[in-house]
Structure 1
């Protein structure tokens, strides 16, 4: 399809071009010839030196310099210095009113500063020049406004059709001639007008700014493709209410994209944002509904098998006999970003849904639980795939730094989901974030520790704890905690000291004192087993 806006740029009126206006016929450049291509946005007659109060970039000053006559030499130089700093377009000079011979000095300063000075015919009035310049500027702006209106009208017409993201990228390409890719960084979703372009390995964003016509954050996107080729492209940041970053990537270097093309791109990016926000609202409503249904399934809030059948049917997880629960708990390690837990869960859940279409989830506080429906031949959630997703997330600087614990249940039928949810919640209670990080544990791996989870009355189990350890916990809670953590760390004194923020010698001292007073020896395998069990039980009792 032929590009409709190819080669169309917004051509600003320049100092060179205003010399062709009727009122400036016969004018000539008397200084600053290097500044003739400066763009003109406005014009004003000046008879006062306080230029910093009213001048703007692109302004043409129409003057006789008479207002500078009372000023000293330093103030006159300061006046031209201000003009250079403001970046005016140039000066139209009308001769005849200067008493002094300072004009040569003015022209020399303008030459050095690159400020174009055009000398007009002294018989022409200021008003005639002003009307010519401003009339041309207004005509150019009117043409620009018409172009914008035409682009906006076409975009609104497309919006009525409620297009998909793919349709928007196709229409945008038709308008600009450039390939377009929509990139959802959180979910790693890529929709492109050229399938080859969305198979990139990495992308690096560096923000830059345009002086005009910018309604989005713009980035120079450095894209590395699977082939090893690199390309520069423009990327517009499209931020949803959830804060998830998405980008509209225009596969063209920034310097080669015209201003009118940017108008088109901005309009279509706004349309894409509108459609994404609509979809996000639908997804949020669906999430809230499904979140409650999943939560009720996990907690066994349904009173009959028929209600459970109806719930799994609503969630579209009723195709197979078996169900498995996976629980993810995260701990953000940067306190300044502690409010970004939902961002982590949003990223994780999107990627898990890409791996397992028949999985639903329920989010609560610092954990999120997934329920998957699978066949008897399926292995359920794949440990390597799940931890791979989390490792990729930990390597992403856009996400808050975190540690995690993954708990995997056994498999069961739909009427016993509460039981396997209890398994992952038991693992969650059994291992705190300080003692276990970045681990994936299945219920089947717990071995003897299962009885701590499955026991109904934990306080009754406390009667089986070695009396020496019961006494130690009453007399010296800090010493009891030290022994329990040392056993968790497989007898590593240095790691235990690091976690307790003390010196290793302090750990040795505590262990020796406890052995002398209570007869508990961490080097004895029987005592170590007793300490491990007592420590786990104490932690479970605290968390209940």
Structure 2
């Protein structure tokens, strides 16, 4: 909602002023909902150049008495200038407003109001300004009272349903508050007739509200919603705090009674509503501290720490005798994730999105899982039924991952999301290995810089063997021996020989494709390949040489 119309009253409101008794709306009645912010007198022909949006113009038609066609021509211009309407005294300079002028006003919904002849314009202007100021004062009081009621509800932990009830009392319309963090909705409408009017649109809205990316514009919007054979306006008021969106309020104007100031009053309390959601997040974070401690001990390689965790297994519904598996979700933005003033808000936003993912899993995933969040990542521990086959376990894990990725896609996080899956631990003593494997696969995904979002440790093939603790040191030593000469060249000459070799294997030795991937001229790629051969005696076309370099690169990718 723009700042210009937050306190506006409607043109139709001034008809209740005692001095306007006897006034008649001659045309443009639909425009009586226009906002009025000021009043002015028009008695000069070039008034269009001086009017302001929201002005109500008063005239005796003296200027147009000799050329009534000028009055007809000026109406669309005033409409374009967003003048809210015009008041005119007849029976003085003109006997009546011509039918053609009234027809034009009706076509463009521009109000023409007949002012009683005996009403002095000076007194009327004063009365209108008093009306405007009085309504603005009442709006400020309404904002103050509404915010106090919302604050009282929060202090006594009354919940979102009670807040929705207060919004209904202001809007006199069906309302739903959608919490986009915890994926909850709170509907309130005590009038069965109104509820029946909008129930189909409500069901469609709720079915999709959590499955689409929210608008990044923190502004109130209104759009037509089809209800049976008619259309009504459904307003949406985003819930923002500290430039972060936490949800949205929807209102159905079934009786066409919602006004801009009603929306502004409701909008004024959205920061409080966001704080209520933040309080809930804080409580979940506190719970997450205890869950994190339990998982850290359970996933530790220290047997004593694991035994401490097992003592509390019943509290977290963890069954030590069942097979388990670790899944690591990484949400990696371009900025380094350090708690600095510049990006602390980004980290907070990532945490909120990860919390949203976790809440969706709780609603849609039918298996057991534990989770903990830490800055840019979440660790999930899945457990499987005792009699589940390996294929069933894989399918269950894949369902879990599909929900993760679908949710990330809806939040526009898919391009930053990586999911690593460790091997299945048949006993809880093997959980530390499953976690380590999941973290390794995430690192591999990030280093590959491809569109691949998920990697199972069981799909790594030979790299699983090379990642064994007993072979790790020797494998890395081998990789250094193969790659170090070229790396030293790249560091010394700011070259790209290692990257060229990596892409060479990725593209199956197709030099044209290598040039395309590296955005480098084809002749430059040929020069690099020849330079590698001539300077270091490395012929990438030789099968054994190619295998050695591919293996060394894979070792680096997995272990370093």
After TM superposition, is the score higher than 0.5? yes
Corresponding residue of 1:351: 360
Distance 1:151 1:480 in 2: 64
**Residue correspondence of structure 1 range 141-540 to structure 2 within 5 A:** 162-165=157-160, 180-185=175-180, 188-190=183-185, 197-198=202-203, 202=208, 217-220=220-223, 233-239=234-240, 243-250=244-251, 252=252, 256=256, 258-259=258-259, 272-288=273-289, 290-291=291-292, 294-295=295-296, 297-298=298-299, 300=301, 303-310=304-311, 312=313, 316-321=316-321, 322-332=323-333, 339=346, 341-342=350-351, 344-354=353-363, 355=365, 356=367, 358-365=369-376, 367-378=377-388, 379=393, 382-393=396-407, 395-396=409-410, 398-399=412-413, 401-402=415-416, 404-430=418-444, 432-455=446-469, 458-464=472-478, 478-504=496-522, 506-508=524-526, 510-511=528-529, 514=532, 520-539=538-557
| Compared CA separation, residues 506 and 296, structure 1 to 2 (3 A) | farther
Q: What are the superposed Cα offsets for residues 337-366 of structure 1, whole Å, 9 maximum, x if unpaired?
A: 99465465344333334425532123244x
| Compared CA separation, residues 151 and 432, structure 1 to 2 (3 A) | closer
Corresponding residue of 1:70: none
Q: CA deviation at 1:282?
A: 1.8
| Structure 2: runs of 5+ lacking an equivalent | 1-8, 64-69, 189-194, 337-341
Contact kept in structure 2, 1:332 and 1:401, CA below 8 Å: no
Contact kept in structure 1, 2:39 and 2:57, CA below 8 Å: yes
| SS in structure 2 at match of 1:318 | coil
Q: CA deviation at 1:538?
A: 3.9
Q: CA deviation at 1:326?
A: 1.0
**Relative to structure 2, which stretch is displaced further, 478-487 or 173-182?**
173-182
| Compared CA separation, residues 219 and 417, structure 1 to 2 (3 A) | farther
Distance 1:466 1:11 in 2: 77
**Relative to structure 2, which stretch is displaced further, 129-138 or 270-279?**
129-138
| SS in structure 2 at match of 1:502 | coil
Q: What are the superposed Cα offsets for residues 218-266 of structure 1, whole Å, 9 maximum, x if unpaired?
A: 3538699xxxxx997333222356934422333x368845339758966
Please give the TM-score of this superposition, normalised by the length of structure 1: 0.65
| SS in structure 1 at match of 2:371 | strand
Please give the TM-score of this superposition, normalised by the length of structure 2: 0.64
| Compared CA separation, residues 59 and 179, structure 1 to 2 (3 A) | closer
Distance 1:128 1:471 in 2: 93
Distance 1:439 1:55 in 2: 55
| Compared CA separation, residues 486 and 390, structure 1 to 2 (3 A) | farther
**Residue correspondence of structure 1 range 85-164 to structure 2 within 5 A:** 85=81, 87=83, 89-91=85-87, 116=112, 162-164=157-159
Contact kept in structure 1, 2:476 and 2:555, CA below 8 Å: yes
Distance 2:551 2:538 in 1: 14
Distance 2:480 2:40 in 1: 97
Q: CA deviation at 1:309?
A: 2.8
Contact kept in structure 1, 2:507 and 2:513, CA below 8 Å: yes
Distance 1:364 1:222 in 2: 40
1:34 matched to 2:44? The reply is: no
| Compared CA separation, residues 507 and 446, structure 1 to 2 (3 A) | same
| Structure 1: runs of 5+ lacking an equivalent | 1-9, 67-73, 97-102, 210-214, 225-229
Larger radius of gyration: 1
| Compared CA separation, residues 235 and 501, structure 1 to 2 (3 A) | same
**Relative to structure 2, which stretch is displaced further, 112-121 or 239-248?**
112-121
| SS in structure 1 at match of 2:467 | helix
Distance 2:521 2:40 in 1: 78
Distance 2:239 2:250 in 1: 10
Q: What are the superposed Cα offsets for residues 266-315 of structure 1, whole Å, 9 maximum, x if unpaired?
A: 6997775453232123223334554465456545578544432356566x
| Compared CA separation, residues 223 and 296, structure 1 to 2 (3 A) | farther
Contact kept in structure 2, 1:236 and 1:247, CA below 8 Å: yes
